[in-house]
Amino acid sequence: MRAYPLIALLCPLLIGLCRARGQTCGEWSEQQKQEAAMFLQRQFGFDSSSSLYVIEIGAVPDSCYTRIKVAIRETEQPIAQTFYVSPDHRFFSLDFFDLKLLSPEVEKATQKRLRKELTNSVIPLRGQKDAPVLLSVFSDFECPFCREEYQKVWGEIMPQYRGRVALAFHQLPLGKHPWAMEAARVSVCIHGQGEERFWAISDWLFRNQAELTSDKIRLEAFYRPGIDPERLQKCLDDDKESSEVIRHDAGLASDLFVTSTPTMFVNGRRVVGDVSSTTLRRMIEEALSVKRAGTTD
């Protein structure tokens, strides 16, 4: 995907987008252009000379909102972040809630899409593919709310609903987290050596989140029981395997309008943020009731 320098091309692209849609969404003033570019630069802690790029830009369907994806290209593996811009160009947001995404029709289509993902062997899965409830999680190993949610799901929900709930993990490392991408790459490479080894390293990453660095993650990975260090090193050096998995999950997240972590889906029903165990149990029980009533996905 072609990348564009932020300051030079962000606002002209936005103006062209509004015109192309044929909507009265309003054009950007010179002051708004500068404010938008300055905000994005400061959001990542970089000055005007930093290598911050717009890699994707598009309209939110049937609205005057705009979706912008920017990336930091300090390394060969870009760290991307998506923002949403309000119609008056005043508000930038990391989260975007569309009530249409909560309709039964959309939830049914989402569930079908996520069930289809289970045919892909690179998706870590805990439980049986044909379990009546699929809990799909988009997560970031450096996100503190993801840690809290993981502990609830792993420590409480999965043991209680053994055989009835399957857990699928999707990688979504966020640009604001310095070692999240490295953790994602390491976990993908370890997953290639066995399902259980993936869940073991995931548990370790979340439990030790506060003390971790990229170097500590690699050191732990290479000395874990049962890991083939040469195979792991080859996977990390090649980068193709892990990058493809992470890009795939990022594309899936984009298709499903997942903009933050943790985001979960309970049989296609969206759950955003750190929710209580009680709420998760209620949603799972409702999904199980639908299954018992004979309603198909």
- pLDDT digit string (tens) for 180-219? 999 999 999 999 999 999 999 999 999 999 999 999 999 9
Q: Is there a single domain that holds both residue 49 and residue 110?
A: no
Give first-to-last CA distance, the chain, whole Å: 35
Q: Is there a single domain that holds both residue 59 and residue 142?
A: no
Instruction: Return the higher-pLDDT residue of 147 and 49.
Output: 147
Q: Is there a single domain that holds both residue 114 and residue 260?
A: yes
Is 90 exceeded by the pLDDT of residue 21?
no
Q: Is there a single domain that holds both residue 115 and residue 156?
A: yes
Sign of CA dihedral 211, 215, 220, 221: positive
Q: Is there a single domain that holds both residue 253 and residue 112?
A: yes
Residue 80: pLDDT band (50, 70, 90) is: low
pLDDT at 9: 44
Give the separation between CA 94 and CA 92, rounded to whole angstroms: 7
Determine the residue type at 121: S
Residues 242-274: pLDDT tens digits? 999 999 999 999 889 888 899 999 999 999 888
Please calculate the CA angle 99-101-105 and round it to the nearest 5 degrees: 115
| pTM for the predicted model, two decimal places | 0.74
What does each C-alpha distance from 15 to 10, 36, 37, 136, 279 come to in angstroms? 9, 13, 14, 37, 42
Helix (H) or strand (E) holding 92: strand 92-93
Residues belonging to the chain: 297
**Number of domains forming the structure of the chain:** 2
Q: Bridge partners of 58?
A: 67
Q: Is there a single domain that holds both residue 88 and residue 108?
A: no
Considering 93, 122, 143, which residue would you say is the last residue of a domain? 93
Q: Which domain holds residue 175?
A: 100-292
- Is residue 58 included in any domain, yes or no? yes
DSSP state letter for 164? T
Q: Is there a single domain that holds both residue 140 and residue 81?
A: no
Q: Is there a single domain that holds both residue 13 and residue 44?
A: yes
Q: Is there a single domain that holds both residue 216 and residue 265?
A: yes
